[in-house]
Chain A
């Protein structure tokens, strides 16, 4: 499938992308000279090729558990009927909600410093849902004052075509099948879980925590660990300290975060930067940790805090950091984090998936309604 940016659409002979339409977008007023501080002016969404595109599914952005139950127990028609009947009732926030709010806080700061730039986060809602549910989702976005102007309601079709076409930098969903498909297509993606109780997180500083192996880095070292155990793994890593690891599925996302961070540093805002990144790894500072840091350096990437746990549980450390989102390739760590109130996402990539496949089947949420 090819992306055609220059697509001119003609319908009944009229070029639909001309300015001839009498419908004015909310941001059209900006061109008539309103001051930036005017509260009613909505900023215009950036072009997909310039933006950092974060695609979220409706089930992780909002809490749709009750509706999910109705679908499971009573089927599609009942589910749709319920949604339409409750159309004006907004959904309550889901696990991705505070992450999205934090992205918007970063955008606000970026716009202040770089008013002409389109290098901003663009949040797109991607849902399997039928367009019938669309109005309730739009009402909910309005209610929570989220800045989401783009969405795809695919009525059951695969989102992969759209993810690729719109330069997706990160895809978050509760559906393991879709996330695996996205990873196979080279798109950074993760399965988001809902903690029993979510800990409070910052509203002004976006905090993103990453596991190292098989998330930022490839799973090559995981294989050693699996085959020979932790001690051998530490030894191997020390020996190969100066050889950079290969990259993993979320390296690109860390890269774009770093690019945005530099924009704040360039304006003298290093101390007050609204983005902070963390590496939370089972590697040990004494041995295997160096290879991780050297690899990042060889890629020209910075990470604000590196936490080497030498195999200890990640839950307590994450509880202290309070990231908006945490990525790990092992369900053991994802669950440990979620138990302590961190919004944790599983990246189903690499060696760890083969051994724990059954565990995943038991724990992961099943697919969204079609």
Chain B
């Protein structure tokens, strides 16, 4: 079941729909009576909103905007649905749709709402969504919670490189179109005033793997701002310095659990 926030409706044909779980946005634990505390994905939501603001500043008639869907699968939080809605209002979060769903059929909800990217702190949820062809990313403490002026997206290049054979999994198709839309958004800005920063990191392989990933992203119209070719050096420093809000593995390779 989904409740629409009428004043914040985006054009369905052009908006980039991103679903985030309320568990990720609002922390559990010591909260105010009326309102939830800020969770892991809170800065991420603010960054998405900032991108929208910049897009609209450039062009008040802009239709290519992020459309946020707040998904609640947690039964405890579901019982407090008014509190979720009032919390978003309290923090000035622009949520287009509130969806309440069980763990069993939340993916249906994602598909019905044409969600192009699903963000969750729950590994199982992310896995289920990917298997049904919805591009997903797992949020964790290393990445999601850093406040930043820009929306920072990090592509994991090992998965960007195309395999030679086999049919394209639906989640990969979803990844391609999502990244193309990010590229489209980037083109609304120059390099020095972009509210969006895109990074690429390749871990396996050397410089040629990174070159392949750069070519692939370029062919999708994505402008890569920062690139790191690690050749199996540790990840940690890249995450600590780049501080992505989320990582995209392109949905490649599926999830073996």
A-side residues, CB < 8 A to B, are 1-5, 7, 9-14, 16-17, 20-26, 42, 44-45, 47-48, 76-77, 80, 130-132, 134-135, 138-139, 141-142, 148-155, 157, 161-162, 165-166
Verify if B203 is at the interface (C-beta below 8 Å from A). Answer: yes
Verify if B240 is at the interface (C-beta below 8 Å from A). Answer: yes
Cα distance A59–B178 in the bound complex, in angstroms: 35
A151 contacts B214, C-beta separation under 8 Å? no
> Quick one: CB contact mask for B193-212 with A, threshold 8 Å, 1 for yes?
00001001001111111110
CB distance from A48 to the nearest CB of B (A): 5
- Interface of B, helix, strand, loop or mixed by DSSP: mixed
Verify if B255 is at the interface (C-beta below 8 Å from A). Answer: yes
Chain B residues, Cβ within 8 Å of A161: 237, 240-241
B236 contacts A132, C-beta separation under 8 Å? no
CB distance from B130 to the nearest CB of A (A): 5
Chain B residues, Cβ within 8 Å of A1: 237, 240-241
Name the one of B159, B200, B229 contacting A149, with C-beta atoms under 8 angstroms: B229
A26 contacts B156, C-beta separation under 8 Å? no
B249 contacts A12, C-beta separation under 8 Å? yes
B137 contacts A11, C-beta separation under 8 Å? yes
Cα distance A174–B231 in the bound complex, in angstroms: 25
- Interface of A, helix, strand, loop or mixed by DSSP: loop
B209 contacts A48, C-beta separation under 8 Å? no
Verify if B149 is at the interface (C-beta below 8 Å from A). Answer: no
Chain B residues, Cβ within 8 Å of A20: 253, 256
A153 contacts B137, C-beta separation under 8 Å? no
Verify if B22 is at the interface (C-beta below 8 Å from A). Answer: no
Task: Find the A residue at minimum CB distance from B191.
Answer: A76
B231 contacts A3, C-beta separation under 8 Å? no
Identify the interface centre among B124, B197, B232: most chain A CB within 10 Å of its CB: B232
B226 contacts A153, C-beta separation under 8 Å? yes
Question: Considering only CB atoms and an 8 Å cut-off, how many residues of chain B contact the other chain?
Answer: 59
A77 contacts B191, C-beta separation under 8 Å? yes
Interface residues in B2-50 (C-beta closer than 8 Å to A): none
Cα distance A7–B227 in the bound complex, in angstroms: 19
- Nearest 5 pairs of A and B residues by beta carbon: A165-B237, A149-B206, A4-B236, A11-B249, A131-B227
With A23-B158, A131-B225, A155-B225 as known contacts, state yes or no: A166 contacts B211, CB within 8 Å.
Answer: no
Task: Find the A residue at minimum CB distance from B190.
Answer: A77
Chain B residues, Cβ within 8 Å of A14: 249, 253-256
A45 contacts B228, C-beta separation under 8 Å? no
Name the one of B161, B203, B206, B211 contacting A26, with C-beta atoms under 8 angstroms: B206
Known: A47-B233, A134-B224, A150-B229. 16 other contacts (CB 8 A): A7-B142, A7-B234, A7-B235, A9-B247, A11-B156, A13-B124, A23-B158, A23-B204, A25-B232, A26-B205, A47-B232, A134-B214, A135-B211, A138-B207, A151-B229, A152-B227
A76 contacts B241, C-beta separation under 8 Å? no
Chain A residues, Cβ within 8 Å of B214: 131, 134-135, 138
Identify the interface centre among A80, A131, A132: most chain B CB within 10 Å of its CB: A131
Verify if B126 is at the interface (C-beta below 8 Å from A). Answer: yes
Verify if B85 is at the interface (C-beta below 8 Å from A). Answer: no
Chain A residues, Cβ within 8 Å of B207: 138, 141-142, 148-149, 151
B236 contacts A17, C-beta separation under 8 Å? no
> Quick one: CB contact mask for B169-208 with A, threshold 8 Å, 1 for yes?
0000000000000000000001110000100100111111
Cα distance A153–B236 in the bound complex, in angstroms: 16
Cα distance A134–B215 in the bound complex, in angstroms: 10
With A12-B255, A17-B203 as known contacts, state yes or no: A25 contacts B209, CB within 8 Å.
Answer: yes
> Quick one: CB contact mask for B117-159 with A, threshold 8 Å, 1 for yes?
0000001101100100000111010100000000000001011
CB distance from A149 to the nearest CB of B (A): 3
Cα distance A165–B241 in the bound complex, in angstroms: 10
Task: Find the A residue at minimum CB distance from B154.
Answer: A11
B257 contacts A26, C-beta separation under 8 Å? no
Verify if B163 is at the interface (C-beta below 8 Å from A). Answer: yes
CB distance from A357 to the nearest CB of B (A): 30
CB distance from B149 to the nearest CB of A (A): 13
Interface residues in B72-126 (C-beta closer than 8 Å to A): 123-124, 126
CB distance from A200 to the nearest CB of B (A): 28
With A134-B210, A138-B211 as known contacts, state yes or no: A3 contacts B234, CB within 8 Å.
Answer: yes
Task: Find the B residue at minimum CB distance from A162.
Answer: B237
Verify if B230 is at the interface (C-beta below 8 Å from A). Answer: yes
A166 contacts B249, C-beta separation under 8 Å? no
Chain A residues, Cβ within 8 Å of B206: 25-26, 42, 45, 149-150
Identify the interface centre among A2, A10, A13, A25: most chain B CB within 10 Å of its CB: A13
Name the one of B200, B230, B238, B257 contacting A13, with C-beta atoms under 8 angstroms: B257
Verify if B51 is at the interface (C-beta below 8 Å from A). Answer: no
CB distance from A225 to the nearest CB of B (A): 40
